[in-house]
């Protein structure tokens, strides 16, 4: 499913002393099948933006189109929209509430009024997708580890079979291993289920290897949309808008400043090594 954001503005608490314009002039095109990474510093408006993608927030002005249909229009079935565009909040484990893992994951499909057999199938499928042992189904979600609880919350959204999966900082608060694992899983769902993915992250390096499109949000609006490598090659733009430059890119920049002709737009350690060896060996550029 393609998503188009047009002239989006969002003002919190309008007309009060606490009025805050969180987004302005946001224009964005997320093509079907993409893995779109939304990056930017804290407080820039990323969470506000993604809550518009499934109609959870209403724009102060502007429009959101899903496959060309304006979901800000009157008479739109927002329940259906939220089923097609699954939104996973930051720290989603805080919203678990059922007595068992199974019931928590089954909550959405049950609300859709699906037959019992299909609900059971969807719960089993979702647990497998997030890597939860089926033996945990009868346990209380509150007795699980933080990482497991997050997977239960993710499974609840996957059980709705969304066409678009929107994840707000899915790796926040996890240790480095948990972080890599969750992002790798999301990349697998994108690749194997053909699901359109939108991931919010304040660290570009976590999502860079998987992103087909990067959107840089800062101070309430979009400052870059395009390929990840083009952004990585533009350290000045990242710094200008307060986005942390990935450490490997900084390394390459500093080697370059010392006269080694490396290209700084690297995605991972392997690419970094290859690029340094190429520059030292004077191989083809």
Name the segment binding ligand ADP (CB under 6 A); options: 44-52, 72-80, 182-190, 207-215. 44-52
Question: Does residue 42 interact with ligand ADP by CB under 6 A?
Answer: yes
Q: Within 46-65, which residues bind ligand ADP (CB under 6 A)?
A: 46-48
CA distance 42 to 201: 10
Minimum gap (Å) between residue 260 Cβ and ligand ADP: 35
Question: Does residue 47 interact with Mg ion by CB under 5 A?
Answer: yes
**Contact status, residue 126 vs residue 156, Cβ threshold 8 Å:** yes
Name the segment binding ligand ADP (CB under 6 A); options: 1-9, 36-44, 106-114, 273-281. 36-44
CA distance 236 to 262: 17
How many CB atoms sit inside 10 A of residue 255's CB?
A: 18
Question: Does residue 80 interact with ligand ADP by CB under 6 A?
Answer: no
> What tokens were used for 217?
């949000």
CA distance 47 to 43: 9
* Positions of E strands within the chain: 3-12, 20-30, 35-39, 61-66, 69-70, 85-88, 164-168, 196-201, 213-218, 221-226
The angle subtended at Cα 128 by Cα 127 and Cα 129, nearest 5°, is: 90
Minimum gap (Å) between residue 203 Cβ and Mg ion: 13
**Contact status, residue 105 vs residue 156, Cβ threshold 8 Å:** yes
Residue identified by tokens 């992002």 is 183
Binding to ligand ADP by CB under 6 A, coded x per residue (else -) over 213-232, reads --------------------
Nearer to Mg ion, 88 or 266 (CB): 88
Minimum gap (Å) between residue 15 Cβ and ligand ADP: 13
Minimum gap (Å) between residue 38 Cβ and ligand ADP: 9
Question: Does residue 15 interact with ligand ADP by CB under 6 A?
Answer: no
Minimum gap (Å) between residue 183 Cβ and ligand ADP: 18
Give the interface with ligand ADP as residue ranges (CB under 6 A): 12-13, 20, 22, 40, 42-48
Query: Which residues contact Mg ion by CB under 5 A?
Result: 46-47
């Amino acid at each position: 499913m393609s998503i188009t954001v047009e002239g989006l503005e969002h003002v919190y608490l309008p007309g009060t002393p606490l009025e805050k314009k969180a987004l302005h002039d946001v224009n964005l095109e997320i093509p079907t099948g993409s893995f779109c990474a939304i990056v930017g510093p804290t407080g820039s408006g990323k969470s506000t933006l993604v809550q518009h993608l499934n109609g959870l927030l209403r724009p102060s002005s502007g429009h959101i189109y899903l496959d060309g249909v304006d979901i800000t229009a009157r008479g739109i079935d927002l329940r259906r929209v939220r089923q097609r565009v699954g939104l996973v909040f930051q720290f989603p484990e805080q919203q678990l509430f059922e007595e068992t893992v199974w019931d928590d994951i089954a909550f959405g499909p049950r609300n859709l009024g699906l037959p019992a057999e299909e609900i059971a199938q969807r719960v089993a499928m979702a647990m497998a997708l997030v890597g939860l042992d089926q033996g945990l189904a009868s346990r209380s979600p509150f007795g699980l580890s933080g990482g497991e609880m997050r997977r239960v919350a993710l499974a609840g959204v996957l059980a709705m079979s969304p066409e678009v999966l929107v994840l707000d900082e899915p790796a926040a608060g996890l240790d480095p291993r948990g972080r890599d694992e969750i992002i790798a899983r999301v990349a697998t769902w994108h690749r194997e289920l053909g699901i359109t993915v939108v991931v919010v992250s304040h660290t570009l390096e976590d999502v860079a290897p998987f992103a087909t499109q990067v959107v840089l949000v800062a101070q309430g609006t979009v400052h870059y949309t395009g390929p990840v490598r083009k952004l990585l090659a533009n350290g000045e733009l990242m710094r200008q808008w307060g986005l942390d430059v990935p450490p490997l890119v900084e390394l390459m920049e500093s080697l370059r400043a010392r006269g080694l002709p490396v290209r700084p737009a690297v995605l991972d350690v392997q690419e970094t090594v290859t690029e340094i060896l190429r520059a030292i060996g004077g191989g083809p550029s």
